[in-house]
Amino acid sequence: MAINLDALSPSELQALIKSAEAQMAASRQSHIRDTRTKIDNLLASAGLTLDEVYPRRGGKGTKSAKSAVAPKYRNPENAAQTWSGRGKRPLWFVAALKKKGVTAESLLIQGAAKAAPARKYPVKATKKASSKK
């Protein structure tokens, strides 16, 4: 089925492109469905599951790299905005601290830890380097 593209008008070319894109999407979905069926049949015949063949990350017994942490601070102007106290300070937190009389402790959520955990090792005092004149 050869189509002479030179003989088509711009609107006919646009319609042909849309038709080809729709056919491509349908063909891709059909290919995915067929492949999934083949994999399911192969796993069933072997008596295995996909999780046994390809274990997922962060499954039972493993720690994920970024675990969810309970929020520690809440924006007094918008209660939906919270911060765990980890990472970069959010803009609302920085702006609130600039206001008179607002401290980090005043933004703490009730029940959140008020004191930082004690350090295992004391911080060493460092000497300033003397400048030579």
Instruction: Return the structure tokens found at 45.
Output: 């015949």
Residue type, 43: L
Return the percent helix, strand and coil in the chain, to nearest 5.
Answer: 40, 5, 55
Mean pLDDT for the chain overall? 83
pLDDT tens for residues 18-76? 999 999 999 999 999 999 999 999 999 999 988 888 888 765 555 555 668 888 998 88
Nearest CA among 91, 84, 59 for reference residue 69: 84
Q: How far, in Å, CA of 17 to CA of 119, rounded?
A: 65
Residue 121 reports pLDDT greater than 80: no
The answer for residues whose C-beta is within 8 angstroms of residue 69's C-beta and 6 or more apart is: 84, 85, 86
